[in-house]
Chains A and B, each alone.
Chain A
Amino acid sequence: MAPTKKSNSSESINSRLALVMKSGKSSLGYKSTLKSLRSGKSKLVIISGNTPPLRKSEIEYYAMLAKTNVHHFNGNNIDLGTACGKYFRVGTLSITDAGDSDILKTEA
């Protein structure tokens, strides 16, 4: 099996995420991303590659209502958790404050 595609943009999404984790605010996990979407605090939603399609479309619908961008992470929840620097899996995450990162400009 070929290793996960590490093209230019997916390298930098990982590094941007790391910067957000360090300098900005985010909420990891399905329940908290829905909460942040409902309250309007979410600026960007990232969904991992292996979330079930029903949950994925539910989050996309919420984001459409909240006019929030969605990024489909190229990798599964284990990879997304690693990209956030955590030792657990992360299926969905919401960025509420980007800090020093430019993730919102490039993903918007």
Chain B
Amino acid sequence: MPKFLKNGKVVIILQGRYAGKKAVIVKNVDEGTKERPYGHAIVAGIERYPLKVTKSMDKKKVASRSHVKPFIKVVNYAHLMPTRYSLELEEIKAAVSAETFAEPSQRAAAKKAVRNSLQQRYTAGKNKWFFTKLRF
């Protein structure tokens, strides 16, 4: 009966502005902290999915439609729906940590790093499910 909310797990955000968006757990805090006395996780997700591209589009159009806008957030476990998918995340883990959320400039820097690594993943064609919008 293992725990399954671990680093690298893909989850779907259920509540808040990012409801319905897919995210990956970067760090999980099972017991909670003083400021957050509940189980929560730091996630990095996609705020704006890349648009669909077809063969008939030229390179410039494909490039502009393939942008990924990320978000980072600290979310309560109760507001996540875990999935069976996972994402390996070495670079993202280095960029995002608990102190990142203290200052807006740190957040922006972390988001930039996340965007770069997610963009590379998408153009490389890996983790296709993660980059498709959840239809509901």
A-side residues, CB < 8 A to B, are 31, 34-35, 38-43, 58, 62, 64-68
Contacts and interface: CB of A to CB of B under 8 A. Distances in A.
Contact of B1 (A31, A35, A40): A40
Contact of A65 (B39, B77, B78, B82): B82
Interface in B1-19: 1-5
A94 to B, nearest CB: 10
B3 A38 contact: yes
A41 B1 contact: yes
Contacts of A68: 1
Given A38-B39, A39-B30, A62-B82, A67 B77 contact: no
Nearest to B2: A40
Given A38-B39, A38-B77, A39-B30, A65 B1 contact: no
Contacts of B82: 62, 65
B3 A39 contact: yes
Interface of B: 1-5, 30, 39, 77-78, 81-82, 84
A83 B133 CA distance: 43
- Closest 5 CB pairs between A and B? A40-B3, A65-B4, A40-B1, A68-B1, A40-B2
A80 to B, nearest CB: 21
20 contacts: A31-B78, A34-B78, A35-B39, A38-B4, A38-B5, A38-B39, A38-B77, A39-B3, A39-B30, A40-B3, A40-B4, A42-B1, A43-B1, A62-B82, A65-B82, A65-B84, A66-B2, A66-B3, A66-B4, A68-B1
Contacts of B5: 38
Given A64-B84, A67-B2, 11 more contacts: A31-B78, A35-B39, A38-B3, A40-B4, A41-B1, A58-B81, A65-B4, A65-B84, A66-B1, A67-B1, A68-B1
